[in-house]
Structure 1
Amino acid sequence: MSGAEDRYQRKIKTREELRELLGPRPRDLKVVMCHGTFDLVHPGHVRHLTYAKSRADVLVASLTSDAHIAKANYRPFVPQALRAMNLAALEDVDYVLVDERPTPLENIAFLEPDYFAKGYEYVDGGVHPRTTEEISVLETYGGEILFTPGDVVFSSSRFIEETPPAIGVEKLLALMQSEGLSFDSLRASLESCRGLRVHVLGDTIVDRYVYCTAIGSSTSKTPTLSVKLDEQVEFVGGAAIVARHLRAAHAEVSFSTVLGADEAGRFVRDRLEEAGVVVHAVTDRGRPTTIKSNFIAGNHRLLKVDQVDNLPISSRIVEELQETLAATEADVVVFSDFRHGIFGKESIPRLAESIPAGPLTVADSQVASRWGNILDFSEFDLITPNEKEARFSLGDQDSVVRPLALELYRRAQCQTLVLKLGNRGIITYRAATEDVRAFFTIDSFADTVVDSVGSGDALLAYTSLALRATGSTVTASILGSMAAGVAVEHDGNTPVTPEQVLEKLARVEKRALYT
């Protein structure tokens, strides 16, 4: 922590510390208290705080904790530790209090400020019902309500939704500081993932990229697009790329899947074995290996064609997979579900019961465009759905993200939930304690997005390894986010290496330290 940050940090107090510092009424010094979200401190906030301080000797700025902010989506944008620091940096603010309660009523009664300041919008056109409640508390001990000038009104929500400020590094630093982490400790944690034994079970996909040059319409009578084939490239995808990410991170990886008796199946086996993955593949002669072909012209994806059979695998194949699960020693077991036959209502319980005791259990169900539900994987240690999958599983299109994530966390009965939010990063939920907050957010660290498909697989791999190696949800979430940031900067399913993650960390550290 720098000297300036330490000076500001000393202004941030608990309510017990504040009551002792302020003393009981009547006081020699008048105390005014302001309360708000202060997600982005803007000129309207500064005017409000400056006027409040002019009416008293001591200004206490109280802010709503992250857990009680549910207005607008993706809020709070700035986490409470950083919001508190922003207020503490203002000269007029003497003390900052993070209010862990849904309203300021309890702390008004607890601290008994001489004045409680509100913006003029809370009285213009009539007193707001919540303000009436605050006035009632003030009257119990002789405090007064104070309305500040409101001729300059700004909307933090509008600023955030229209042009989100680029403060991802500052938010990351605040999170790391709160958990006692450093960039050196993150690098050491990445190194500690080496040699972990991981068993991945899931649907294999061959991702085919067909690069073309657009020629135009084939005839004047139909709107058929004509293209010239330039190049065709194939990558292993689905659960297979999860296995390759893990192997690239120097884990010892076993991979169980179902393949067709075809060239695509042989391609998958060859690529995985070349990478050092131990493949336990059941051959199903009645279904093809899934191939997803993307036709691309320039930077535009023209068409996607899937060769797939999504019917459930047979009971015999489920039994074979169960036997492999039970017999394979692992530190981490990952179920990677693309709902192409392996996982279903009948197979999931049987497969889950076959996991030996001891390993970290992880599930990722990328089923937003097909039938399936992340809640089918209940009581796993870690799940990593995206927002669309979370909304689908809960039948909820209306809730803002944080309450949505909390409900999914509760319903899934998991130990850790990492909810992927696309270019907005992630939100992680974990079991809260007296010293550990229930959730935190991490922004995306992708510098240039080339291909966003597959970033979740890289996140899944590195988050799983780091969580098992360190037991720290914050460390795991940061390293997973860095891996995802690397993955989107490359076209196609290319395994992310620790060296690339370290390079990404170094770039973030350089921005953080201004070196």
Structure 2
Amino acid sequence: MNRLHTLIDGFPQVRILCIGDVMLDKFLYGSVTRISPEAPVPIMRMDRETRMLGGAGNVVSNLCALGCRTTFVSVVGDDANGRQVKAFLEDTCCTPELVECRDYETTVKIRFVAGKHHLLRADQEQELKMAPELAARFLERVDACLPDADLVLLSDYGKGLFDGETAPAVIARCRAAGKPVIVDPKGADYSRYGGATLVKPNMKEFQEATGVCLNPSAPGWEKATLEGAARLFDEFGIENLLVTLSEHGMIFIPSSNPADFVCIPTEAREVFDVSGAGDTSLASLGAALAAGATVPEALVVSNVAAGIVVGKFGTASVTGGELKEALEEKARKVSSWHHRNNILTAEAAAELAERFRKEKKVVGFTNGCFDLLHLGHLHSFMKAREACDVLFVGLNTDASIKRLKGENRPVNNEELRSLLLASLDFIDYVVLFDEDTALPLIEKLRPDVIAKEGYPLERWPEGQYVVSYGGRAVELPRLEGFSSTDIINRMKKRPE
């Protein structure tokens, strides 16, 4: 685990050159309450719109979120959408090297979302024609950026940037410069990827390129996969293949010895959206390899990163901190009982709470030390949960409990306390906080309802804060005769 953390900490020293089809993603959010009288289609009432980088731009967003020093080469139209793409790239702190084409409209994908359901996607696009003059300008940018790169990522979205001439030209330049080049492919023609260090198709793309239909649930599927991989190795000189297998994980096959293939299972997560998961996988794989990871190490990092991003809504990225936290959780699950992946950082909890609010769910919050879990606690959790749709529980860290209750507390450490709470059906998410009060955490989460026993509003700053922005503070009824302190005192008095 320390080895993987060291690799992730090294991402800010990694220099990645990303090349690919960039586009603008628009998400139009709203709600549907009726069907149109004009046709049997839903009527969506618009609430808001967000815009972000799409296509290879999402790979760049992920690289920058991981901390990598990233340069990006692509072609955009000489239009407002192209200028917005450039502005977004500059905001990610990458170095954009964009070639403008007057006869091309920047691709825009528009998604209509009601609640957490995608209703429709509308694309504004035209095929990019890499005419000789445009291709020359594009390759000039590649030549200028290549010497400083540790590794090159090609993100092919099939929009025309990588045709039968430009893709081989880029890969040939990478090989001549001694730069590893990883390709996220599109389409069935892999001749354009000849000589690549690694090509990363998904199951559908692998089938299109080889004619081999993968079914990882069927006996002997590995043999058919190796046969298909051998065709790509022999015909195109591809050095390695990494086939992503959806819920079945991924398989890595080296051309040097295909029998040494590596399979790793997927990271089981609650899936909200698969948008951009392949981009996250590509970015984290490239970052890990450039940082010096072995292939098995890079596969673990890539797989965990993809597992995180599918738990987010919309095109999303993953940070180095989230990666390390997920890896720690993975290690804990190997050595301890399983919980529901619901012990969160404050940042992850705030993001999730905001998403639930957009889905019109009531977000609830309570907090405490919960040192010795007893019936009084369970009663409070049950009553708090009745007041909301989703309950977040703030849990004092060991250090904050010692400041509040003395050096002899807590009896149970924060890992055990958080695992116990995370295993209860009343509780949806647990969030540790180190401050003396939960107010800083509440300011991040902004729950709709805060609930706690024994605190009238006039002596409850956290409740007053929630009420100040229109939320509700609920004083829970106390179940008498139960407290951690009483239990500890009774144990001390009991004869041995």
TM-score in terms of structure 2 length = 0.62
Q: Does 1:425 align with 2:241?
A: no
Residue 244 of structure 1 aligns with which residue? 61
Residue 279 of structure 2 aligns with which residue? 457
**Alpha carbons of structure 1 residues 409 and 402: separation in structure 2 relative to 1, 3 Å:** same
Secondary structure at 1:310 match in 2: coil
Secondary structure at 2:12 match in 1: coil
RMSD: 2.1
Secondary structure at 2:74 match in 1: strand
Q: CA deviation at 1:396?
A: 3.0
Residues 15-414 of structure 1: pairs in structure 2 closer than 5 A: 183-219=1-37, 222-328=39-145, 329=147, 330-355=149-174, 356-365=176-185, 367=186, 371-397=187-213, 401-410=221-230, 411-412=232-233, 413-414=237-238
CA distance in 1, matches of 2:85, 2:2: 37
Residue 490 of structure 1 aligns with which residue? 312
**Alpha carbons of structure 1 residues 398 and 514: separation in structure 2 relative to 1, 3 Å:** closer
Q: In the alignment, is the contact (CA less than 8 A) between 1:337 and 1:363 conserved in 2?
A: yes
**Alpha carbons of structure 1 residues 462 and 222: separation in structure 2 relative to 1, 3 Å:** closer
Q: Give the residue type in structure 1 aligned to 2:82.
A: G
Q: Does 1:499 align with 2:329?
A: no
Q: CA deviation at 1:270?
A: 1.2
CA distance in 1, matches of 2:313, 2:190: 27
Q: Give the residue type in structure 1 aligned to 2:226.
A: L
Q: In the alignment, is the contact (CA less than 8 A) between 1:259 and 1:289 conserved in 2?
A: yes
**Alpha carbons of structure 1 residues 396 and 192: separation in structure 2 relative to 1, 3 Å:** same
Secondary structure at 1:470 match in 2: coil
CA distance in 1, matches of 2:191, 2:8: 30
Secondary structure at 1:354 match in 2: helix
Q: Give the residue type in structure 2 aligned to 1:239.
A: A
Q: CA deviation at 1:512?
A: 0.7
Identity percentage of aligned residues:
27
Q: In the alignment, is the contact (CA less than 8 A) between 1:364 and 1:374 conserved in 2?
A: no
**Alpha carbons of structure 1 residues 512 and 304: separation in structure 2 relative to 1, 3 Å:** same
CA distance in 1, matches of 2:165, 2:50: 36
Q: In the alignment, is the contact (CA less than 8 A) between 2:89 and 2:96 conserved in 1?
A: yes
TM-score in terms of structure 1 length = 0.60
CA distance in 2, matches of 1:508, 1:207: 32
Q: In the alignment, is the contact (CA less than 8 A) between 1:390 and 1:404 conserved in 2?
A: no
Choose the corresponding residue for 1:447, options 260, 269, 272.
269
Q: CA deviation at 1:504?
A: 0.6
Q: CA deviation at 1:404?
A: 4.3
CA distance in 1, matches of 2:188, 2:52: 25
5+ residue gaps, structure 2, are 338-496
Q: In the alignment, is the contact (CA less than 8 A) between 2:200 and 2:244 conserved in 1?
A: yes
**Alpha carbons of structure 1 residues 470 and 405: separation in structure 2 relative to 1, 3 Å:** farther
CA distance in 2, matches of 1:244, 1:408: 33
Q: CA deviation at 1:372?
A: 4.8
Q: CA deviation at 1:457?
A: 0.8
What do residues 442-500 of structure 1 show as CA deviations (whole Å, max 9, x unaligned)? 11114211111211111111111222332511001001111111111111222211101
Residue 466 of structure 1 aligns with which residue? 288
Q: CA deviation at 1:398?
A: 6.7
What do residues 120-168 of structure 1 show as CA deviations (whole Å, max 9, x unaligned)? xxxxxxxxxxxxxxxxxxxxxxxxxxxxxxxxxxxxxxxxxxxxxxxxx
CA distance in 2, matches of 1:344, 1:209: 29
